[in-house]
């Protein structure tokens, strides 16, 4: 079994900051890409940021310069530091990771349960 558990969401005023965390646990052999997605009602889930196992990052244009993704490979954890938050950042944020389980030949995609981020204007 593999689990992704998120924390750090909540309510914040516009211009404020939040830090999301996502810890992977279980019978993990290795973790490849990790990332954060977000979804608002009625819209498709969209990529916010991704980070490879060696630290290369990708961001969606709307968060560049405001959000920073990082990871601690020793803790199997990915973070999303969100600064200068805007009302349009309000969404459920989901952690995502490609994980190879012990004894498996291939990596599979896993999702966290989601954490609500609400930015008041």
pLDDT 10s digits, 57-113: 999 999 999 999 999 999 999 999 999 999 999 999 999 999 999 999 999 999 999
pLDDT for the residue numbered 121: 85
pLDDT surpasses 90 at 5: yes
State the greatest distance between any 2 C-alpha atoms of the chain, in Å, as a whole number: 49
DSSP result, 30-58: EEEEEEEEEE-TTS--EEEEEE-TT--EE
């Amino acid at each position: 079994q593999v689990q992704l558990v998120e924390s750090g969401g909540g309510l914040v005023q516009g211009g404020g900051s939040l830090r999301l965390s996502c810890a992977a646990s279980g019978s993990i052999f290795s973790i490849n890409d990790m990332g954060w997605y977000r979804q608002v009602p009625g819209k498709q889930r969209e990529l916010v940021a991704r980070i490879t196992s060696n630290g290369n990052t990708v961001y969606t244009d709307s968060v560049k310069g405001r959000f920073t993704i990082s990871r601690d490979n020793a803790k199997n954890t990915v973070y999303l530091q969100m600064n200068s938050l805007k009302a349009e950042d309000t969404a459920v944020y989901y952690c995502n990771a490609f994980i190879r389980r012990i004894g498996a030949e291939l990596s599979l995609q896993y999702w966290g349960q989601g954490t609500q981020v609400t930015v008041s204007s």
